Amino acid sequence: MGNACGRRTRHRHDTRPPTVPSPDKIVHQEPHIPPPNYGPAPPDPLSTRNGRVMGSLPYAHVDSALRSLAGQAEGFGRSAVGGLHGPLYRVTTLADDGPGSLRDGCRKKEPLWIVFELSGSIHLSSYLNVSSYKTIDGRGQRIKITGKGLRLKESEHVIICNLEFEGGRGPDVDGIQIKPNSKHIWIDRCSLRDYEDGLIDITRQSTDITISRCHFSAHDKTILIGADPSHVEDRCIRVTIHHCFFDGTRQRHPRVRFAKVHLYNNYTRNWGIYAVCASVESQIFSQCNIYEAGQKKLAFKYLTEKASC
């Protein structure tokens, strides 16, 4: 083979051993492998949302601070603030009336956050009227109301928390009676059983009410919402009932006329007639509830009624 000058060039194989770089000069290059794509990371069970620690017990973020309870209601009663802006009132006696009694605190006109210095039963000789802007806070003690019940008459912004109601006697005696024209009410973590009439009655244009995490037992007519077909003004009533346990109560979980009612995450079992009853112009949204029938299988009942006008 010739080159550019016409000379022949001999190509010889280089027999010299290859030069091997010293180990400290060897650079290892790993092949590039892209990281796996697993999609978005799952939520942290202890992450916070709206100031709450998710995955913890209900109200764990508020029970450590007394007044943090106010404004925590869900549903139609979410605006209830109770006695948030008032001083503490300490119940120091289990007497029906008198200084330091529950009745004395509830009749006062100014906002009050009512707490208990002792546990025990308060036997009421007559309905105990609860005025506006009151929180009756039974946390930390065990308070049982007997004899009669609480009445919210033209009251607003009332919170009732951690009380027991049992053994109310007399005609038209309810555990908690809400009428007329009461609004922004929250009943939370209460236990109610064995009253002469209803456990909770909501009638006569009372609205924006939440009942949450309550236990109902040993009773017939549990919750009435809307009095009768002649009370067409009850079309304004709005009630939320959630995370409640209806434990063998016979009927009215609830019984509804005219009102708008949202039921969610409740557990009803072993009712005696029906679980939920709707009649004249009522609207019930039932969501994620459990109905465990015993001998009676009728969970939802509709009664034909006609409004008076």
Residues assigned a catalytic role: 252
CB 67 within 8 A of CB 84: yes
- Partnered with residue 143 across adjacent β-strands are 120
Task: Tell the burial category of 1 from Cβ atoms under 10 Å away from its Cβ (0-12, 13-18, 19+).
Answer: exposed
- Buried-state track 116-137, b at ≥16 Cβ within 10 A, e below 16: beeeeebebeebbebbbbbbbb
CB 271 within 8 A of CB 246: yes
CB 229 within 8 A of CB 206: no
Residue 68 — left, alpha, or beta (φ > 0 → left; ψ -120 to 50 → alpha)? Answer: alpha
